[in-house]
Amino acid sequence: MSRRLLSTDYASLQAAVDAAAENDLVVVPAGHHQCASLRLKSNLTLRLEAGAVLHAPREIEGYNKSEMLQRQTSLDHYFFGGFGLENLCIEGEGVLACNGDAFWSDYDGKDSPPASELRSRVYLSMPSRPSAMLFVNCRNLRLRDFSIVNAAAYTVWCIGCQNLRLERLRIKNHRLGPNTDGLDIDCCQDVWIDSCHIDAGDDCIALKSDIAILGRELPCERVHISNCTLTSTCCALRLGYEGDGDIRDIIVNDCIIHDSNKGFDLISVLPEIQRFNIYKGARIENVVFKGAVMRNVRQAIAVWSGADLTEDEERYQGYIRRLSFADLQIEAVDASFIGGMAVSEIMLNNIRMQVRRDAQRYKGQTLVRKPNVWGTGYLPYALNFHQVANPILNNVNVSMEEY
């Protein structure tokens, strides 16, 4: 028979977790609690009750270091973490307060700027920063209803995990915080992300295939993202860039995106230098984006495939193919782009895109047919295609005004 363990009856939250038997419930009651880095276990439910605020350490020595990451990274510590776990649930209406500003060397004490102001800079990061949550090779993981604020770097990072449900999470990070992504889903399978509200200083939701950090080939696949509200100084939703593996069979539906640098961003690239141990380029396919509203987004759609350097193009083995964009209402302030070396079978259906661009932004610059991988470049049209095989457009209404 399962038990209900009150965390305040133990010397620490870690002691309460260690004392829990299979299927026990560990409860953190209302109140402010200083909390050391927590290593979780299988067959456990951790409940953060309404009014519970867990304050993370402000020194890197207060965090556990992951021993399972196979590629060197400065983000190798964590606040809450688990490795090779099964049947773990973290729930409740409490808050993880992550003190991310303690890990930015030039933090000036200012509050996060309003969402309507796209960032012009980010704070400088310390040599090592913790993720708020890190899970590696876990199965049957449930995260629901709680909040995470002021992460130092990635907020929830799942690597090589299967059967994940991330529901009704509320994430609010400093919009000038470096790499303060909301959800990073890396080489994971069978993932449901539903009804989350994310305000991030980097990507809100990033789907990756970093097989180097996992240490084995495993695709990021069968991911369903729905009913989310996303705002970001970078991308509301990004697929690719970090990783050499496959990203496939993805559905994104009924999301609201506002005040973001990019809406939907898909990147398969062979970098100029072999960052993140990328040697081939990601393979991205079978992705459906359906039913989204975007407002005050710089670049609504960015799809880019290729190599940073012309001399590396022969080594590029990635591609982006079989994408569907449907039922989108877009108000953007710059042009969108779809194209590259290996982009094919792109379908756009029932899309209304209005672009109102500041002509001073590109004063004196020459028009380009293809921007760089980050979307930098003066594109001539509101929606630009470059070397795309088999595009299909139906009921696509695009307009652009320059002022």
Find the CATH number of the domain harbouring 25: 2.160.20.10
Q: For the residues 163-192, what does the mean pLDDT come to?
A: 98
Backbone angles phi, psi at 16, to 5 degrees: -65, -40
Do residues 68 and 136 lie in contact, with contact meaning Cβ atoms separated by under 8 Å? yes
Return the pLDDT at 365.
94
Query: Is residue 120 a part of any domain in this protein?
Result: no
Structure token digits, residue 53: 């605020």
Return the pLDDT at 2.
83
Residues 6 or more apart in contact with residue 92 via CB below 8 angstroms: 28, 47, 48, 49, 50, 52, 145, 146
Return the pLDDT at 119.
65
Return the pLDDT at 117.
78
Query: Is residue 155 a part of any domain in this protein?
Result: yes
Backbone angles phi, psi at 106, to 5 degrees: -110, 25
Do residues 257 and 292 lie in contact, with contact meaning Cβ atoms separated by under 8 Å? yes
52-55 and 86-92 beta bridge pairing: unpaired
Distance CA 28, CA 13 (A): 8
Query: Is residue 232 a part of any domain in this protein?
Result: yes
* Alpha-carbon distance values, 370 to 202, 263, 267, 302 (Å): 24, 18, 14, 11
Query: Is residue 112 a part of any domain in this protein?
Result: no
Residues 6 or more apart in contact with residue 89 via CB below 8 angstroms: 44, 45, 46, 141, 142, 143, 144
Residue type, 42: S
The number of distinct structural domains making up the chain is 1
User: Structural domain of residue 244, as residue ranges?
Assistant: 4-106+125-402
Which residues are paired to 158 by β-bridges? 135, 185
Residues 6 or more apart in contact with residue 47 via CB below 8 angstroms: 25, 26, 27, 28, 91, 92
Distance CA 349, CA 395 (A): 6
Q: For the residues 113-128, what does the mean pLDDT come to?
A: 86
Query: Is residue 117 a part of any domain in this protein?
Result: no
Residue 304 reports pLDDT greater than 90:
yes
Least confident range of 16-30, 110-124, 226-240, 261-275: 110-124
Three-point CA angle 347, 319, 338, nearest 5°: 45
Query: Is residue 114 a part of any domain in this protein?
Result: no
Residue 218 reports pLDDT greater than 80:
yes
Backbone angles phi, psi at 314, to 5 degrees: -65, -25
pTM: 0.97
Q: For the residues 53-60, what does the mean pLDDT come to?
A: 98
How would residue 116 be classed by pLDDT, with cut points 50, 70 and 90? confident
Distance CA 69, CA 198 (A): 26
Query: Is residue 230 a part of any domain in this protein?
Result: yes
Distance CA 244, CA 266 (A): 14
Do residues 168 and 148 lie in contact, with contact meaning Cβ atoms separated by under 8 Å? no
Residue 273 reports pLDDT greater than 90:
no
Least confident range of 94-98, 223-227, 362-366, 391-395: 362-366
Query: Is residue 263 a part of any domain in this protein?
Result: yes
